[in-house]
Structure 1
Amino acid sequence: MEIKIFRYYKIFYQGSVISVIAPGYQGYFQILKNHAPFISILKNGILKLELKKDKKKEIKIEGGILRVNKNMVIIIT
């Protein structure tokens, strides 16, 4: 699954991930490979990316929008 995170009109992070845990408006949720098409509003919190087995990355965000479609996650913060 691929991810692109846009911040301040540029690509902040881009790469391949196993899973994404995001701070949704109603609470945290997880996106895995082959997830159904989905759009969500994000609130302030920590975006947790699992890049490879035993390798993780955390990114602090202050709200935004997340979209999933055909194994591509796009986040605009």
Structure 2
Amino acid sequence: MKIKIISSHKILYQENIISVIAPGFHGYFQILKNHAPFISILKNGLLKLKSDKKDVNKEIKIKGGLLQVKKNIVTVILQ
């Protein structure tokens, strides 16, 4: 599964991942490979990414945005 994190000006992060945990409007949720198509509003919190590289995890502090899942591609558009 791929993730692309975008700000208004550029792509901030793009990588293959195993999972992402995101701060949704009603609480945190997790996206894994082959997830159904999905769109969510994001609130302040941490995006927690688990890379497909061994033992590589990343946390990104965000102030809100949108998340879309479609065909194993997760797109995050930050405020």
CA distance in 2, matches of 1:46, 1:7: 15
Q: Deviations over 1:42-77 (max 9, x none)?
A: 000000000034210000000000000000000000
Q: Which amino acid aligns with 1:72?
A: I
Runs in 1 of length 4+ with deviation above 6 angstroms? none
Cα distance in 2 for residues equivalent to 1:68 and 1:8: 19
1:35 partner letter:
H
Unaligned runs of 5+ in 2: none
- Provide the identity percentage: 69
TM-score of the superposition, structure 2-length normalised? 0.94
Structure 1: gaps spanning 5 or more residues: none
Moved more, 30-39 or 49-58: 49-58
Deviation of 1:7 (Å):
1.3
Q: Does residue 1:71 correspond to 2:72, yes or no?
A: yes
Partners of 1:21 and 1:4 lie apart in 2 by 14
Pairwise CA RMSD: 0.7
